[in-house]
Amino acid sequence: MAGPISWIELDGVVNLRDVGGLPTTDGGTIRPGRLLRSDNLQDLTADDIDELRRRGLTDVVDLRSDAEVSSTGPGPLTREEWVRIHHHSFFDERDLDGDDIPETSAPGPGPEPVETEQSDAAKALPWVGKEPTTAHENPATAHYLSYLSDRPDSIVAGLRVIAEAEGAVLVHCAAGKDRTGTLVAIALLLAGADPEAVVADYAASSERVERILQRLVATETYGPVLGGQPAEWHMTRPETMAELIEHVQPGGDQTQLRAVLARCGWTDEDTARLRAALRD
């Protein structure tokens, strides 16, 4: 059972939506105005910022790598005192000394790599040329599962922001589809969202992929890596999220998912707070 896709149209982003209204497995809904998801926020205008404040935004979870944040510089929301920025990279960046980034690269969830010139910009993308640490026959699903195995601490930290924020939380990465899609999906599943609705929300980013790529390719950080790649490589296919969900909660059983999160301190009380924050 899918739910509505609530797009939010602003000038400085192209993949912003509210996951509120998605159905839960027990007949309820996810609370509107509580959890937003987006592509990167570097281009927000003054009017965009005013609109986000009007919508009750209090916290932002930035899932980009340390190198991405450093390369793009501080975004406009970092200058606003009324919003808190929480940076939780989904990559283990301890070995990113420059020598570990190969010259042949493509975004992890995409198909075959293309030849790109080695550059500092490529270092901003820690998935470039790296094999996922968790195996799966679907390459995109493998990368999403690797976020859980590589940085469960960041996933738990992001979930806690969602559970404890006073107002709306906006989760974003660069494109707002892979890292953002994984954290938002896990939050929704823990809150009891219907898996089909979670898949539909994830898949909706495909509607905006061409516009997402236009934004990213125009930047010094992402252009050298993403330039020339077809939009088809970056689509958010429903089966990718369906396979992730079946892996982390086979048959709807969240024992395995909660055990992974528990290694970083996530508790049943955390789940209860998350559900209370996200459910009507």
User: Which of 107, 147, 145 minimizes the C-alpha distance to 127?
Assistant: 107
Is residue 55 domain-resident?
yes
pLDDT score at 225: 84
Establish if 145 belongs to a structural domain. yes
- How many domains, in total, are found in the chain? 1
Give this prediction's pTM: 0.89
Q: What's the distance, CA 201 to chain centroid?
A: 12
Q: Is residue 114 part of a domain?
A: no
Query: pLDDT per residue over 210-219, tens digit each?
Result: 999 999 999 9
Residue 125 lies in a domain: no
pLDDT-above-70 percentage for the chain: 86
Residue 114 has pLDDT above 50, yes or no: no
Q: Is-contact 167 58, C-beta < 8 A? A: yes
pLDDT value at residue 6:
94
Question: What pLDDT sits at residue 128?
Answer: 60
CB distance 270 to 160 below 8 Å: yes
**pLDDT beyond 60 at 7:** yes
What backbone phi and psi angles, to 5 degrees, belong to 219? -105, 155
Expressed as residue numbers, the domain containing 250 is 6-94+140-205+236-278
The catalytic residue positions are: 173
pLDDT value, residue 203: 98
The pLDDT tens digits for 218-247 are 998 899 888 888 899 999 999 999 999 999
Whether residue 103 has pLDDT greater than 90: no
Least confident of 16-30, 72-86, 219-233, 264-278: 219-233
**81 in any annotated domain:** yes
Name residue 237's amino acid.
R
Q: What is the pLDDT of residue 195?
A: 97
Listed residue (129, 63, 67, 122) closest to 94, CA to CA: 67
The residue among 122 and 70 whose pLDDT is bigger is 70
Instruction: Note the pLDDT of residue 127.
Output: 58
Residue 12 has pLDDT above 80, yes or no: yes
Could you tell me the pLDDT band of residue 118, with boundaries at 50, 70 and 90? very low
CATH at 11:
3.90.190.10
Is residue 196 a part of any domain in this protein? yes
What are 59's strand-pairing partners? 84, 169
Question: Does residue 105 lie within any of the structural domains?
Answer: no
pLDDT by residue (tens digit) across 33-83? 999 999 999 999 999 999 999 999 999 999 999 989 988 888 999 999 999
Q: What contacts 24+ positions apart, CB below 8 Å, involve 222-230?
A: 222/121, 222/124, 222/125, 222/174, 223/121, 224/116, 224/117, 224/119, 224/121, 224/122, 225/105, 225/106, 225/107, 225/116, 225/121, 225/122, 225/125, 225/128, 226/107, 228/114, 229/106, 229/107, 229/110, 229/114
Whether residue 52 lies inside any domain: the answer is yes
Percent of the chain whose pLDDT exceeds 90: 75
pLDDT digits (tens, 9 = 90+) for 142-198: 999 999 999 999 999 999 999 999 999 999 999 999 999 999 999 999 999 999 999
What is the per-residue pLDDT for 29?
96
